[in-house]
């Protein structure tokens, strides 16, 4: 069986499917990969690759534009550290896979998103301890070190996927204003593989699925 992209990565960086470039986070990943020698993998979406970095990319940093559902699952299962943008779906996926994700929200002032909802949303999640929030390269460096030191929760400490989805949905409802509650629909889709189909509705057939944001 062919290996999934990033299967052996120790650090996974996920930029989702938003069409805005997020050069800043890729540059931070390139800098830290060059410093620590660990295997870094970036799902870079619409951010330029590999010419985005200010210097040549280190050999231990690889990436791809998009990941399928099974590829993302495999990456999250094997990575020691997960870094994402502020998209609710990817944060929830990381939590379901027993990670406390490091989250760098997109900044609209830098052309990384249309507005500041990721900044507001992630501040609420950070206050609850759901994520590690970073705003700079130095923040990211410290968060990666702390995550490696603490490790992932043990099986005994981890909640079930259904509990993660329910708790995360509650946090989203509290963090997002009314115009943004529509994002809950995307969150529900992210949790679709851990919830049974409604009564009277057949289970979804296995097959290719779109990448998650």
**Domains detected in the chain:** 11-161 (3.40.50.2000)
Question: Is residue 177 scored above 60 in pLDDT?
Answer: no
What is the dihedral sign for C-alpha 194, 198, 203, 206?
negative
Question: Is residue 194 scored above 50 in pLDDT?
Answer: no
The chain-wide mean pLDDT, for the chain, equals 79
Question: Is residue 196 scored above 80 in pLDDT?
Answer: no
State both tokens at 88.
């609710």
Q: If you write DSSP's letter for every residue of 150-200 in order, what string do you get?
A: H-SPPTTTPPPHHHHHHHHHHHHHHHS-GGGTTHHHHHHHHTGGGSPPPTT
Match 């057949």 to its residue by tokens. 202
* H helix intervals, the chain: 23-36, 69-78, 88-96, 117-128, 137-150, 161-175, 183-190
User: Minimal CA–CA distance to 42: which of 34, 69, 50?
Assistant: 50
**For the chain, how far is it from start to end, CA to CA, in angstroms?**
26
What is the Cα–Cα distance from 21 to 15, expressed in whole angstroms? 9
Segment 46-76, tens digit of pLDDT: 888 776 655 578 889 999 999 999 999 999 9
Q: By mean pLDDT, which of 46-60, 83-97, 118-132 is the weakest?
A: 46-60
Question: Is residue 193 scored above 50 in pLDDT?
Answer: no
Q: Report, as an integer, the average pLDDT of 164-187.
A: 52
Question: Bigger pLDDT: 60 or 193?
Answer: 60
Question: Is residue 200 scored above 50 in pLDDT?
Answer: no
What is the dihedral sign for C-alpha 1, 79, 116, 48?
negative
Longest Cα pair distance anywhere in the chain, in angstroms?
56
Note the pTM of the prediction, 2 decimals.
0.76
Question: Is residue 169 scored above 50 in pLDDT?
Answer: yes
Q: Which pLDDT does position 184 carry in this prediction?
A: 44
Segment 24-43, tens digit of pLDDT: 999 999 999 999 999 999 99
């Amino acid at each position: 069986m062919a290996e999934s992209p990033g299967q052996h990565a120790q650090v996974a960086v996920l930029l989702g499917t938003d069409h805005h470039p997020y050069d800043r986070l890729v540059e931070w990943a390139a800098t830290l990969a060059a410093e620590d020698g660990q295997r870094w993998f970036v799902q870079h979406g619409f951010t330029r690759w590999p010419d985005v970095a200010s210097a040549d990319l280190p050999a231990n940093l690889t990436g791809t534009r998009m990941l399928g559902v099974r590829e993302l699952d495999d990456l999250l299962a094997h990575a020691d550290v997960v870094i994402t943008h502020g998209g609710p779906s990817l944060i929830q996926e990381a939590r379901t896979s027993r990670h406390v994700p490091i989250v760098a929200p997109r900044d609209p002032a830098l052309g990384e998103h249309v507005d500041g909802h990721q900044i507001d949303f992630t501040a609420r999640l950070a206050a609850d301890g759901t994520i590690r929030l970073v705003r700079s390269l130095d923040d990211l460096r410290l968060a990666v070190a702390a995550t490696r030191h603490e490790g992932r929760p043990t099986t005994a400490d981890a909640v079930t996927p259904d509990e993660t989805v329910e708790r995360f949905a509650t946090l989203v409802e509290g963090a997002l204003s009314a115009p943004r509650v529509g994002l809950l629909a995307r969150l529900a889709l992210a949790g679709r593989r851990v919830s049974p189909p409604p009564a009277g509705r057949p289970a979804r057939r296995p097959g290719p699925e779109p990448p998650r944001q």
